[in-house]
Amino acid sequence: MMTIATQVFHVDPAHPDPAAIAAAAQALAEGRLVAFPTETVYGLGANALDAQAVERIFIAKQRPFSDPLIVHLASIAQLERVAVDIPAIAYALAERFWPGPLTLVLRRHPRVPPNVSAGRDTVAVRMPAHPVALALLQACALPVAAPSANLFSRPSPTTAQHVLDDLNGRIDIVLDGGPTSIGVESTVVDLTQSPPLLLRPGGATVEALRVLLPELKTPEAPLIASEAEAAASPGTLLRHYAPRAPMVLLAGETETALHFLRSAVAALNERGLRVGLFTTDEEAHSLADLQARIVSPGPQRDPAAVARHLFARLRALDRLGVDVILARTVWGKSTRAGLEMAIHDRLFRAAEGRVLDIAAPDALDRLLELLPYRKNTQSD
């Protein structure tokens, strides 16, 4: 594809400059691509009513055309422009959670081009809670299709720099409104199924949703699909948010982990592999002497901080040039609550589903089996 000059506008996240917003809105109206901050991650926006503009999103991101996009709205009143047969519960959820990190899957209005939803008769919608996103949506007065503004399968962008690292020269404008506050994407709930189904855990917690939606169905384990199946149940592709080096998720108690990681790092070093360790502040502190590059998104007791820094730290691991990544998932399945569900889901996908129970007696052998010995040749 042709390289285009990507323009960056620095805007005050609370009071964005109307001139920058107007320029970005104009670009959207002309069918061009604008990356903007939301409260979750940066989105890559195009006019949702313009099939050609929407197609550009897929090309810029190298996203498969089978993976549908979320349409962003400036108000609840705009729902009827993009969806039909809207159930009462959709309005109730919107009143309670919008603007905010909840995406609802509804029946698509025929005026929304099919490629927005990858040919489905449904459409995903949300109203973001970020002054820059809202100012842009109001100024352009259009529904805006916007997936996360990263290259397909890379960690989602939580700063304008992440957007540029992936998409510089491929999109028209980036509105730089600083780092995003939630850090993981919106929760996606399909209201066209009965009972409603959680498609993706995210910024809005299942506990909060269940107050209005007690019948909400949540999958036991993260929804996983092969590439073929993903076409039927979008957004469930395993390889997602992934750093370049192969990653294994280590599940188990901290006591066990501190012990296991010592032998694991030594065994990997012996095989000539540079190890990246992704863990919490608490564990990182106890492991500082290991021959590994240690990265932490935050303290275990503060899931909001972990969520906020998760993707940035995964990207940081890439720059350290490690060959393999051992990542800790510290929250037990039964105790996982609130944002921990979304955090675990993103780590699970970044690890392409490789999870190791470190309490198992043969855990070290299993680890060596799980890791594809792919040398990291990327240097950036």
Q: How far is the CB of 281 from ligand TXA (least distance, A)?
A: 25
Comparison of 69 and 132: residue with beta carbon closer to ligand TXA: 69
C-alpha to C-alpha distance for 368 and 2, rounded to whole angstroms: 42
∠ CA 328-330-333 to the nearest 5 degrees?
Answer: 120
Per-residue x/- track, 18-47, ligand TXA (CB under 6 A): --------------------x-xx-x----
Tokens 């993903």, located at residue: 230
* Binding flag, residue 148, Mg ion (CB under 5 A): yes
Where is 204: in which H helix or E strand? none
* Binding flag, residue 187, Mg ion (CB under 5 A): no
Comparison of 148 and 192: residue with beta carbon closer to Mg ion: 148
H helical segments located in the chain: 18-29, 51-61, 79-82, 88-97, 131-140, 160-167, 206-212, 227-232, 254-270, 281-286, 303-319, 340-350, 363-370
Q: How far is the CB of 145 from Mg ion (least distance, A)?
A: 13
Provide φ and ψ at 96, rounded to 5°: -80, -40
Sole window of 102-110, 145-153, 222-230, 267-275 interacting with Mg ion (rule: CB under 5 A) = 145-153
From 78, 186, 329, 376, residue interacting with ligand TXA (rule: CB under 6 A): 186
Q: Among candidates 346, 338, 102, which has minimal Cα distance to 207?
A: 338
Q: How far is the CB of 21 from ligand TXA (least distance, A)?
A: 17
Q: Considering only residues 98-137, where is the footprint of Mg ion by CB under 5 A?
A: none
Comparison of 20 and 184: residue with beta carbon closer to Mg ion: 184
Q: Which does 192 bind (CB under 5 to 8 A by kind): ligand TXA, Mg ion, none?
A: none
Q: What is the 3-state secondary structure (H, E, C) of 154-187?
A: CCCCCCHHHHHHHHCCCCCEEEECCCCCCCCCCE
Q: How far is the CB of 329 from ligand TXA (least distance, A)?
A: 21
Comparison of 27 and 188: residue with beta carbon closer to ligand TXA: 188
- Please count the residues of this chain forming the interface with ligand TXA, following the rule CB under 6 A: 28
The pairing of beta strand 70-72 with beta strand 144-145: antiparallel
Sole window of 6-14, 82-90, 98-106, 161-169 interacting with ligand TXA (rule: CB under 6 A) = 98-106
Long-range CB contacts for residues 28-32, cutoff 8 Å, separation at least 24: 28/53, 28/136, 28/140, 28/142, 28/144, 29/140, 29/142, 31/56, 32/56, 32/172, 32/173
Q: Which does 43 bind (CB under 5 to 8 A by kind): Mg ion, ligand TXA, none?
A: ligand TXA
Q: How far is the CB of 372 from ligand TXA (least distance, A)?
A: 25
* Binding flag, residue 69, ligand TXA (CB under 6 A): yes
Comparison of 122 and 186: residue with beta carbon closer to Mg ion: 186
From 32, 154, 200, 244, residue interacting with ligand TXA (rule: CB under 6 A): 200
Q: Among candidates 44, 347, 327, which has minimal Cα distance to 168?
A: 44
* Binding flag, residue 280, ligand TXA (CB under 6 A): no
Report the residue number whose CB is nearest to ligand TXA.
Answer: 235
Comparison of 25 and 112: residue with beta carbon closer to ligand TXA: 112
Q: Considering only residues 112-131, where is the footprint of ligand TXA by CB under 6 A?
A: 117, 120, 122-124, 128
Comparison of 152 and 293: residue with beta carbon closer to ligand TXA: 152
Q: Give the DSSP per-residue string, 237-294.
A: BSS-S--SS-EEEEES-HHHHHHHHHHHHHHHHHTT--EEEE--HHHHHHTTTSSSEE
C-alpha to C-alpha distance for 45 and 338, rounded to whole angstroms: 28
- CB within 8 Å of 55: residues ≥ 6 apart: 115
Q: Considering only residues 225-264, where is the footprint of ligand TXA by CB under 6 A?
A: 234-235
Neighbours of 197 (CB within 10 A): 18
Contact residues for ligand TXA, defined by CB under 6 A: 38, 40-41, 43, 67-70, 101, 103, 105, 117, 120, 122-124, 128, 146-148, 185-186, 188, 190, 199-200, 234-235
